[in-house]
Structure 1
Amino acid sequence: MKLLRLILPGIAMIASTYGLARFSFGLLLPDIQDSLQFSNLTSGTISALFYVAFCFTITISTIITIKKGPRKMIFAASLATLFGLLLMGLAPNIYILGLGVLLAGASTGLVSPPYGAAISLWIEEKKQGTANTWINSGTSIGIILSGLGALLLTPHWRITYFIYALLTFITLLWNLKIIPKQSMYSTRMVLKRGDYSIKGVEGSVKLSTASVVLGICSAAFWTFSRSFFESAGSYEDWQLSIFWVVIGSLGILGGFSGSLIEKKGLAFSYRIATVLLSFAFILLAVSPEKWFIAYSAAGLFGGSYIFLTGVLLVWGIRVFIHNASLGIGVPFLLLAVGQVIGSLSAGLCIGFFGYAFTFILFGCASLIASFINPKKKQTSPSI
């Protein structure tokens, strides 16, 4: 299969699941909260459903993809996204909203493993790293669209979700047309049934530790950077939305992580990404009241985070060399586990010490994470 034939619908699907269904919620939350009248505690509880659903469904998706192949899981992710967005748009109360959030969060867990499997099946080996990282960068496209949606359609959050649902439906049809049916599977299929354990797999401990630590660190920025930015100066709503768009715009550069890995190696790419992630935290902590510096921090975070998830993705596939689905499922699952821990700990830290200290602390933690790096020489995935 030609590279772009699989990458483009893959990018669109990741944009729908991660960007429109998941990350748009934080931007639209103030208007949703005003409309449905619920507390900040309820907001936090509903937001946590994204992570809970992700942790559960990425495990299920990994196992089913190994047994059945990628097409069914990509279709399931599309439906979860579509119905999640529709329920959030129609929600008359917090219970229907929570159900929609649960489905939207589930879609992100369902969608990641099957694309890794599809790439290992139908893209030639030397292009697989590039394909994985570019599809992963679809998150940035979705973040940009969600930022523009908040900018143009505020406070019409219901209309925004309906538009997102329409885009998701188009993406669903596109993917069903492109992803081959089971009868068309290659005889070179690398997915193997059997042992799903990471125990004893060389490099799995480092990969797992790095994923959790980076999940903890990144959650602080995802959850609280916009609030930090808003509290630091007299910003208009459009400036707050642009902050999010900047994160997504620079995140597209994360698609180049596959090329850098090929040229400079996995260890070098990982260190660069973690150091830049650390700088993003510290930069925002220094001068959040200056929009140029705040936007620079947002761009640095967006680029380094998407770049870093691409690195973890390639690292995982190289560790679990005979099982691309497990190679994506393990680091992404542990990244989400870390983000649950990070959101809670950052919230407590902000309550006691304030935004600036918390962001500096988490920035330093990101810097420490740079030492949990992959081996300099890592075997490339084979088919």
Structure 2
Amino acid sequence: MKRSFRSVALVVAGTALVACTYGLVRYAVGLSAPDAQRDLGLSTTAVGLVSGGTSVAYCVAAALAFLHGERRPRTVVAGAGAVAVLGAAGVGTAGSAAVFAVAAVLGSAGAGAASPGLVVLVRRAVPGPAEPRAQAVVNAGTGPGLVAAGLLALLVDRWQVAWTAAAAGTAVVTLVVLAAARGGDPDRPAPRVDAGRRWVVPVLAAGLLGTGSAAVWTHGRTVLQDGGLGDRAALWVWVCLGVGAAGAAVVGPLLLRAGPVPAWSASAAVTAGAVAAWALPARGPVPVLAALAFGLGFTTATTALIAWAGQVSDTPAPAVSVFFVALLLGQAAGAPLSSALLGAGVPVALGAAAAVVAAGAALPVSGRRRAPRAR
């Protein structure tokens, strides 16, 4: 009973940590971009470079988690929370574009380390058939975080106050996760990583999703406002994006019944459609539907990546790190590319982004069709 209570507490706290490190810190950079452009003088090109830098920082942190996640998951999670807190606090007090950029990049590293560490802690706390559901719930924490980020932006007078609140919340949640994980399985020797050819397709697919999705994460709110949507209406659309992402906690396990690859293809296809819809005129329910679909599709796709790692590897934590690094390297490339393509118009930039995501959705299916028959 005690173990069951501790497992539930860890899943709840882990979900909250993902909400903070992803929704309130990493992806909130795009949410705050119009405000930073207005108050700190950031250009559209600079926003793309900052977004790309956050992805690089994420990858560096994920690479470190790759090396230490299986052996010292609590230490990895502690470091993730600390870095996210420092970055969010830095953005909250930034008085210049340079400080904003450095702090935003630093804070995003927290998300890169949080996911691999939490994957290990959840696997140890919730073994057996219940694990995939628990992993899906924790991973869907991005959704509530995005909702909270949008609501904070609507409620506070100054956008940087929301970042200070994010720093405080992340600090508290990190301590709760560490307390819930205390007394569990001790740190273990790092196992031999069984990387091989089976990792290639998920790595490529994740990279394509990252490249195409970066257009919405980086410029989504700006595109809506430039298209005529009011400031508060654009913030409510961001809240809807978070609601869609939260729905992955329910939809993810349902899709995974068919297997990680079908779940990936379906959710990435939904994401591609949502990116394309984001380019449509911001009238009626279109922005809301696009946001709901994007949040649901993208977050469910990352849940499928976690399950896919367990299918192709006996060491899923390092595999998750590699797949998420590929996703974020894609975003690092996609953010400045989308900034450049916006000069040719929103339909061109988001149409190209949607095509890239669609290619990622089709990749595993086309790979299976090309595979030689077993003899």
**Does the TM-score normalized on the shorter chain lie above 0.5?**
yes
Distance 1:279 1:293 in 2: 12
**Aligned pair 1:307/2:305, yes or no?**
no
The residue that corresponds to 2:209 in the other structure is: 214
Distance 1:267 1:54 in 2: 25
Q: What aligned pairs does 1:1-383 form with structure 2 within 5 A after superposition? A: 1-2=3-4, 3-67=7-71, 69-154=72-157, 156-181=158-183, 184-185=184-185, 192-195=190-193, 198=195, 201-233=196-228, 235-285=229-279, 287-321=280-314, 323-352=315-344, 354-373=345-364
Report the Cα offset of residue 307 of structure 1.
Answer: 0.6
Report the Cα offset of residue 225 of structure 1.
Answer: 2.5
Report the Cα offset of residue 170 of structure 1.
Answer: 1.8
Distance 1:225 1:93 in 2: 23
- Distance of aligned partners of 1:221 and 1:28 in 2 relative to their CA distance in 1, 3 Å threshold: closer
Paired residues of 2:92 and 2:160 also in contact (CA < 8 A): yes
Paired residues of 1:122 and 1:186 also in contact (CA < 8 A): no
Report the Cα offset of residue 217 of structure 1.
Answer: 1.4
Letter in 1 for 2:69: T
- Distance of aligned partners of 1:193 and 1:161 in 2 relative to their CA distance in 1, 3 Å threshold: same
Report the Cα offset of residue 327 of structure 1.
Answer: 2.1
Identical-residue share of aligned pairs (%): 23
Letter in 1 for 2:13: P
Report the Cα offset of residue 103 of structure 1.
Answer: 2.2
- Distance of aligned partners of 1:276 and 1:135 in 2 relative to their CA distance in 1, 3 Å threshold: same
Write out per-residue CA displacement over residues 256-294 of structure 1, whole angstroms, 9 at most, x where no aligned residue.
Answer: 244224422223212211221122123233x32314112
- Distance of aligned partners of 1:39 and 1:226 in 2 relative to their CA distance in 1, 3 Å threshold: closer
Distance 2:43 2:252 in 1: 43
Distance 1:316 1:257 in 2: 19
Distance 2:90 2:203 in 1: 34
Report the Cα offset of residue 350 of structure 1.
Answer: 2.4
Report the Cα offset of residue 245 of structure 1.
Answer: 0.5
Paired residues of 1:121 and 1:186 also in contact (CA < 8 A): no
Count residues in correspondence.
Answer: 363
The residue that corresponds to 1:380 in the other structure is: none
Report the Cα offset of residue 152 of structure 1.
Answer: 1.4
Q: Unpaired segments of 5 or more residues in structure 1?
A: 377-383
Q: Unpaired segments of 5 or more residues in structure 2?
A: 369-375
Write out per-residue CA displacement over residues 26-67 of structure 1, whole angstroms, 9 at most, x where no aligned residue.
Answer: 222333343334444443333332111111110001211233
Paired residues of 1:202 and 1:319 also in contact (CA < 8 A): no
Letter in 1 for 2:124: L
Report the Cα offset of residue 227 of structure 1.
Answer: 2.3
